[in-house]
Chains A and B, each alone.
Chain A
Amino acid sequence: MSRPVPLLSASGLTKAHGRTPALRGASIELHAGEILAVTGASGSGKSTLLHCLAGIVRPDEGSVTYDGRRLEDLPEKRLSELRRTEFGVVFQFGQLIPELTALDNVALPLLLAGTDRARARARAAEWLERFGVRGQEESRPGEMSGGQAQRAALARALVTGPKVVFADEPTGALDSLSGEQVMTALVHTARESGAAVVLITHDAQVAAYADREVQLRDGAVAPLGVTA
């Protein structure tokens, strides 16, 4: 029996920030609908790996293939479109535009895709409701609690029905209860919509939400079960 073709795969990724190497030959595979945790100590290259996988940065060497397309062959314009339509991203903070209301923030990807404003806002409202952000539709990110803002950010990442959600320490700035709510919301929605998730975290309790764990050590994937 042959293994199914992975949805997203990377091989031999290297990337240096200036003279500091962040990735040294990392390889990884992600299957459709799979929730994959990437763990590792600070500075092990987790975020850089996510940036390469999501086409946010181009690796110095190595290749990233998504759905049969090699990301390094795509121009920035196409990458940007890919991130907007097929991918969703959630960071520790900062992905919401501070001047826009929660509703407009969630509606933004739809607006960019050409949906008209009223329809986009209606869809955004549904998503906010799904993530339990109620009565805060017209609040700006600064007026919401960290957990609510992060759930709004998840709604924004998932509103376009992405195939892969990239989450970089999505609970990093939250207390454990808010973090639990955010993770439960993420896992449930991903399962329902069949989206795969790449979850970067240094927290084992967050990593335990995933189906599988990959550990990074010194910019490469550590052999199974080896601690950092």
Chain B
Amino acid sequence: MIRMSTRHILLGLLASGPSHGYDLKRRHDERFPQARPLAYGQVYTTLQRLVRDGLAEVEGTDSDGGPERTMYRTTDEGTHELSRWSGEIAPPAPFVANEIFAKVVVAILSGGDPAGYLNAQRAAHMERMRELTAVKAAKGADLATVLSADYALNHLDADLRWMSTTAARLTTLTAEVDAV
């Protein structure tokens, strides 16, 4: 999966108007269901870096009866940077770094059980796909949920296919790896 840039996502959330850290975290988790939830600490460090780089600035503070909160807003430079980033093409798989493949090769090298590993991995993938499908197919699931689940499902499906063909060709792979 392509790593998400938290910087740009926060800039994107700020685009609709000034906001404080807690609010940003809440809106992020809402917009990107099924994604890894943002930690507060990460939100604040990222905001401070944005300010340091001149992409965002402090709007003021707002207590609203509760604890004091710092409001941030995007700068012109930030808006510019955001539009550059969102139009930029994500590099399609620049490096093939596949943990599953690495484990299979290591298993062969160390005389382990690559087939057994692939079976177990496949079962785990299927289980996760069932979970995501259940989330997606639940009555009243909103489109953002469906789309994000779909994204993950398609990637898991790709892994599964790859595992199926690899499992069917393990003998040849073993011979090749051992020969080198």
Contacts and interface: CB of A to CB of B under 8 A. Distances in A.
Q: Find out whether A and B make contact in their complex, taking CB atoms under 8 A apart as touching.
A: yes
Interface of A: 183-184, 187-188, 204-205, 207-211, 213, 224-228
B35 to A, nearest CB: 19
B122 A227 contact: yes
A209 B122 contact: no
B141 to A, nearest CB: 10
Contacts of A208: 126, 129-130, 132-133, 153
List 4 A-B pairs, minimum CB-CB distance, nearest first.
Answer: A225-B123, A208-B129, A208-B133, A227-B167
B126 to A, nearest CB: 6
Binding site secondary structure of chain B: helix
Contact of B119 (A188, A205, A226): A226
A184 B141 CA distance: 12
Contacts of B157: 204-205
A214 B1 CA distance: 29
A208 B127 CA distance: 8
A196 B10 CA distance: 46
A197 to B, nearest CB: 13
B15 interface: no
Contacts of A184: 137
B55 interface: no
A225 B133 CA distance: 19
A224 B123 CA distance: 8
A137 to B, nearest CB: 25
A212 to B, nearest CB: 9
A14 B8 CA distance: 59
Interface size class of B (residues with CB under 8 A): 20 to 34
A225 B139 CA distance: 29
Given A227-B118, A227-B164, A228-B168, A207 B126 contact: yes
Contacts of B58: none
Given A204-B129, A204-B157, 12 more contacts: A183-B137, A204-B156, A204-B160, A205-B129, A205-B154, A208-B126, A208-B129, A208-B133, A208-B153, A209-B133, A209-B137, A227-B167
Contacts of B123: 224-225
Contact of B137 (A187, A207, A211, A225): A187
Nearest to A185: B137
A213 to B, nearest CB: 6
Contacts of A211: 130
Interface in B146-180: 153-154, 156-157, 160-161, 163-164, 167-168
Given A184-B137, A204-B157, A225 B122 contact: yes
A122 B51 CA distance: 65
Contacts of B109: none
Contacts of B139: 188
B153 A205 contact: yes
Contacts of B167: 227-228
Nearest to B153: A205
B120 interface: yes
Contacts of A209: 130, 133, 137
B120 A210 contact: no
B126 A204 contact: yes
B100 to A, nearest CB: 13
Contacts of B160: 204
Contacts of B129: 204-205, 207-208
Contacts of A225: 119-120, 122-123
